[in-house]
Amino acid sequence: MIRVLLVDDQAVVRAGFRVLLEEHDDVEVVGEASTGPDAVRLARHVRPDVVLMDVRMPGGDGLTATREIVAAAETVEDWRPAVLVVTTFDLDDYLFGALEAGAGGFVLKDCEPEELIDAVRRLAAGEGLLHSTVTRRVIAEFGRRRGAPVPSPEADLLTDRERDIVRLLAQGMSNAEIADSLVVETTTVKSHLSRAMTKLGARDRVQVVVWAHRNGLGS
């Protein structure tokens, strides 16, 4: 069962998401919050698997709430919530901050119901959401805004194969596409990617992509 926390300042939006999500037997909405601070407090209490986070809320923005929820989870054993940012904006400065804060993916509020449930399931499985158009655009713009890449010490920990896989992942490729490009099995890609994530201290695939853009492996 995937436990979901809904965070949005509009009650009608939360109600709509609840109806869509609870049509599926593997999803349970465990709470709702209308402000960032309330979301943080409730997340600590109910410990959701996925948080659907609004970006702009009068009572506290989603960027700060995302950062605080991710930080809070670091102190709790066996709780690693994924934050799915839900926004009406294709590109928004808040989204770049949310990436840095630890958001695992993005969807638009007018997305199809199937896209929303797929995103929730992907994040609950620890995959991160890298396949939608908005996420690819956000990540590309994030890398551009950071200016010249500054290699970090972790870059030296990666093998050549791991670097190749990280680079292709940052270009928006799926595991299957990476496997085809490198002429290897998909299981091999998953294995190398898992080791790379451990070395980089990345929570999910999105965080690997962010790291790649910072270190010049995003193009």
**C-alpha distances in Å from residue 218, one per residue of 140, 148, 150, 166:** 8, 12, 12, 8
The span from the CA of 115 to the CA of 176, in Å, is: 20
CATH number, span 2-143: 3.40.50.2300
The span from the CA of 210 to the CA of 202, in Å, is: 9
Given a contact cutoff of 8 angstroms between Cβ atoms, the answer to whether 123 and 143 are in contact is: no
Given a contact cutoff of 8 angstroms between Cβ atoms, the answer to whether 73 and 80 are in contact is: yes
Any residues with CB less than 8 A from the CB of 143 and at least 6 apart, and which?
213, 214, 218, 219
Q: Report the relative pairing of strands 50-54 and 105-108 from DSSP bridges.
A: unpaired
The span from the CA of 80 to the CA of 50, in Å, is: 9
For 13-29, how does the pLDDT look when each residue is reduced to its tens digit (9 = 90+)? 999 999 999 999 999 99
Reply yes or no on domain 149-214 having CATH 1.10.10.10: yes
The span from the CA of 217 to the CA of 219, in Å, is: 6
Question: Quick check: do 2-143 and 149-214 share a fold?
Answer: no
Look up tokens 């109910």; give the residue: 46
Residue boundaries of the structural domains of the chain: 2-143, 149-214
User: What local confidence, expressed as pLDDT, does residue 204 receive?
Assistant: 79
For 156-198, how does the pLDDT look when each residue is reduced to its tens digit (9 = 90+)? 899 999 999 999 988 778 888 899 999 999 999 999 999 999 9
For 117-165, how does the pLDDT look when each residue is reduced to its tens digit (9 = 90+)? 999 998 998 777 655 555 566 666 666 665 555 667 888 899 999 999 9
**C-alpha distances in Å from residue 101, one per residue of 70, 153, 159, 188, 208:** 7, 21, 27, 30, 13
pTM for the complete prediction? 0.77
Residue 116: which of 102, 100, 126, 105 has the closest Cα? 105
Region of 159 (left: φ > 0; alpha: ψ -120 to 50; beta: rest) is: beta
